[in-house]
Each structure stands twice: as structure tokens, then as C-alpha cells.
Chains A and B, each alone.
Chain A
């Protein structure tokens, strides 16, 4: 029997290795412009080099000489879709290097979510975090007694369907905490695929061909107590979700290290005032032990040892830089100090998510590229 050396790696496996801090190095063979827009990343920084694949076609020896790695290191080769990286990976192997080709390249990486249980799953409550590292986006599956609710689903809805089926759950509710401006929502597609009730804030002009529930109030879900709470600020319609009075899914209202930008709608001051009220009055009723589950993170430093991203309200009250203002004026000043242009694509993404605008698959993919810009301050 011959032993075939493993020559490929999936996005899921690569992310797990980066998070565990295993010894691995990255060779990205896309063109320079694409590489600059975003590369693979995980909890632990690893060496990354960009040598475009066409350099290997133009002058193989010269390109090989530029590879800054040794033949003992395991090199993961990355490209846009997995074809060019396979080509370079083969060349490196012939030259005696150890390589793994990232299957599906950045196309698969962009669509992949890491899935972690936030609490030990029971029949009464399951809380599952879906982390999409390409966007630094988080979405959630909440379940009780076989019924599930998915919160802030991203564009690739298959992982939610697969995970619900694997756990024997029926998706009854899908919720977008607000009209997202930074990514193409999977909310409508998932609600349609599962015939679930779609929850989206009522006042925001949705024109899709399914009815939405936009009111604050209870969501019936098995034996769990799930309450939608109006938490305006990031957008006027933003809602959070309180589960069993212990976990607060905040959408883009509060993150672990910052708060949601209230300036993306072009009305920084009035929305900042709403956000200040949400942070200091609405959330003040909740205890320090409440676990905050946001829909984004700023960087992988926020990842905890169990590979999840969360923080207690107590920690957030003490350390989150959006929670330190002593007055509304101080808070508005903090927002204004950190303001930066919103990405050009955001107005269009918002229209797509409201089903006001329809675009083809290619443009959907393009709009959905790049990391989110939703936090008021950048902690990197």
C-alpha cells in the first residue's frame, strides 16, 4: 500500500490550524491588487508572502528563488479559486518543498464559516456562533426544543441549513438585526428556503416578496425566552435579541471593543444620540453577567481561548471604548473623532438587502467583498 501525502487543505481546516497556532506559512499567488484587498487570517499571525502565479510562469527559477520559506516548513498556497495555487503548489513540490493547496482559494474562504457552540448544547437551549473570517462577521443559531432561529445570516445560507439538519432542528425564524450595509444578507433566501418567519425592523422600506415582522416583542422558540428589543443607533431600526435573560445578541449595536457606527446613514449626530440612549438607558437594565454576542469583531485579538467571540456586559462596560463617554456630548465627540468615509458600496448593499435593487450574481459577489467597516473605532 502506498501512502499519498496530503496535498490539499480546506478553508475550514486552514482556519482551525491558524487558530490553534500550528506551524504553517502562507504563499498567496494572486496578483498584488487582489492580495491587498484581503488575505486569509486567523487568531495567530503567520508568515504571509505574495508572489503572483504569473511570476512562476514568466521565470520559474527566479520566482522560486523569491520564496522565503524553507523545505521543512509547510506552505499553504492560496489563489483566487484554487487553480493557480495548485499549479504553483506542484512546482514547489517538484523543487522539494512541502505544500498544501487551499481548495477553492479565496472564493471558498469568503464563503466559509467556522461554527462553535457558545454553551454546552441541551434540548432546552443551543447557542451556536457562525464566524465568517473573510468579513469578520458573526451570525447565530439559537435553538430550543427542536426549533431554531437564525440571526444575521450571511450570503452563503448552506451552512445554516446543514447545521440545523445535523442537530435535528427546524428553522422557524430568521432575523436581521438591522438593514445591513456591509454585507449581502442571507436573511430573505434563508427565510424562503425554510418557510420561516422573517424578522426585520418595520420602518425600513423592505420591498421583498415576503412579509416581515418588524415589531419588538417575543419570538416563540421552544422553552426559551427570546425577546426582540429596540436598540436604535447604528441604524434607527436596529434591534437586539435577549435570550433567557442571559445572552444579548446585539447585531451592530455593541461589539466587544467598540460600538456600531451611527454615521453610516449620513446622519451622524441624530443617530449617535439614539445610540447613546440605547447604551446608557436601554442596556442599563441588564446585569454585568449578560453575555454580549455581537455580529462583528474588529480583529482576531477578540477571539477567546474557546475560539468564540463574546464578552460580558460587565467587561464591555469597563473596557469597550464606545462605553466610556460620561455625557451625550462626549459620546458625540467620540463618534465624530473616529468618523471616516463609508465604503462606496454600502448604499448599494443596503438597497439589495431591502430588495429595492436586484443585481446579478457577479455583482453580488463583488459587493460582498472586503471586511466590514461597522465599528465606530478601529482596534487593530
Chain B
């Protein structure tokens, strides 16, 4: 995503829910305020779920999401700021 530089990338490819958010939460807790976590997932359901989680999460702010086509499959990428 333009204008966003991630501090850390979490590879959540192949993980099924709830694991992408379980791991993202863990990673995010290791970051400092203002730092950005990029999560790369293959589970389509993660798009709505990250939106829902960010709505209630105290330490996470969803900066943006994008869908990339890579090698014939879709990657769902989420950018989350630690707040």
C-alpha cells in the first residue's frame, strides 16, 4: 500500500481462522505505538474479520487492506498500526 511502511510483516498464508488474528494480536503486542504490522493472509474471510477486530481492538488501528493476485491465488493484505 502506498504511503505505508511496515515495521514488521506477518506471514499468515495458509492459516485458517482464528489463527491470522491470534498471531497478529501477538505480533502487535511486541510493537511500539505508531509502528505498523503488515499481515499477508490467504483466507478470504480475514478481510471482514480484520475490520471487525480493529473496530473493537484497543491497541490496533486498521490503516488499509488490499487484495493481490500472486501465482494464481489471492493474497489478502492488512496493514495495522499499533496504537
Q: Which residues of B contact A32 (CB under 8 A)?
A: 52
Cβ B21 vs Cβ A54 within 8 A? yes
Size of the B side of the interface (Cβ < 8 Å), in residues, is 17
- A79 within 8 Å of B by Cβ? yes
Q: A54-B21, A58-B58 are in contact. Are A81 and B53 (CB under 8 A)?
A: no
How far apart are the CA atoms of A55 and B58 in the complex, in Å? Answer: 11
- A84 within 8 Å of B by Cβ? yes
Q: A34-B48, A58-B56 are in contact. Are A84 and B25 (CB under 8 A)?
A: no
Q: Which of B47-77 contact A (CB under 8 A)?
A: 48-49, 51-53, 56-58
Q: Which residues of A contact B1 (CB under 8 A)?
A: none
Cβ B17 vs Cβ A53 within 8 A? yes
Cβ A54 vs Cβ B58 within 8 A? no
Cβ A81 vs Cβ B16 within 8 A? yes
Q: A52's contact among B19, B25, B52, by CB below 8 Å, is which?
A: B52
Cβ A57 vs Cβ B53 within 8 A? yes
Q: Which residues of B contact A52 (CB under 8 A)?
A: 49, 52-53
0/1 interface trace, chain A 353-371, chain B, CB 8 Å (1 if under): 0000000001000000000
- B2 within 8 Å of A by Cβ? no
How far apart are the CA atoms of A53 and B48 in the complex, in Å? Answer: 12
How far apart are the CA atoms of A52 and B17 in the complex, in Å? Answer: 12
Closest to B15 in A: A83
- B45 within 8 Å of A by Cβ? yes
Q: Which residues of A contact B22 (CB under 8 A)?
A: 57, 87
Closest to A80 in B: B45
Q: B53's contact among A34, A58, A80, by CB below 8 Å, is which?
A: A58
0/1 interface trace, chain A 41-58, chain B, CB 8 Å (1 if under): 000000000001111011
Shortest CB distance A66–B (Å): 11
By CB atoms of chain B within 10 A, which of A32, A33, A54, A55 has the most? A54
Cβ A57 vs Cβ B56 within 8 A? no
Q: B18's contact among A33, A34, A83, A362, by CB below 8 Å, is which?
A: A83
Q: B17's contact among A55, A58, A59, A81, by CB below 8 Å, is which?
A: A81
Closest to A54 in B: B53
How far apart are the CA atoms of A160 and B55 in the complex, in Å? Answer: 43
Shortest CB distance B61–A (Å): 13
Cβ A58 vs Cβ B18 within 8 A? no
Cβ A87 vs Cβ B25 within 8 A? no
How far apart are the CA atoms of A33 and B47 in the complex, in Å? Answer: 12
Q: Which residues of A contact B45 (CB under 8 A)?
A: 80-81
Cβ B16 vs Cβ A87 within 8 A? no
Cβ A58 vs Cβ B16 within 8 A? no
0/1 interface trace, chain B 3-41, chain A, CB 8 Å (1 if under): 000000000000011110110010000000000000000
How far apart are the CA atoms of A320 and B60 in the complex, in Å? Answer: 53
Q: Which of A16-42 contact B (CB under 8 A)?
A: 31-34
Q: A33-B48, A57-B21 are in contact. Are A83 and B53 (CB under 8 A)?
A: no
Shortest CB distance A56–B (Å): 8
Cβ B49 vs Cβ A87 within 8 A? no
Q: Which residues of A contact B53 (CB under 8 A)?
A: 52, 54, 57-58
Q: Which residues of B contact A83 (CB under 8 A)?
A: 16-19
Shortest CB distance B79–A (Å): 17
How far apart are the CA atoms of A80 and B44 in the complex, in Å? Answer: 11
Q: A80's contact among B17, B51, B57, B58, by CB below 8 Å, is which?
A: B17
Q: Which residues of A contact B49 (CB under 8 A)?
A: 31, 52-54
Cβ B16 vs Cβ A53 within 8 A? no
Provide a sorted-by-A list of 19 A–B residue pairs whose CB atoms are within 8 angstroms. A31-B48, A31-B49, A32-B52, A34-B48, A53-B17, A54-B49, A54-B52, A54-B53, A54-B57, A57-B25, A57-B53, A58-B53, A58-B56, A79-B17, A81-B17, A83-B16, A84-B18, A87-B18, A362-B44
Interface residues of A (CB under 8 A from B): 31-34, 52-55, 57-59, 79-81, 83-84, 87, 362
Q: Which 8 A-B pairs have the closest CB atoms?
A: A54-B53, A31-B52, A84-B18, A87-B18, A84-B17, A83-B16, A31-B48, A54-B21
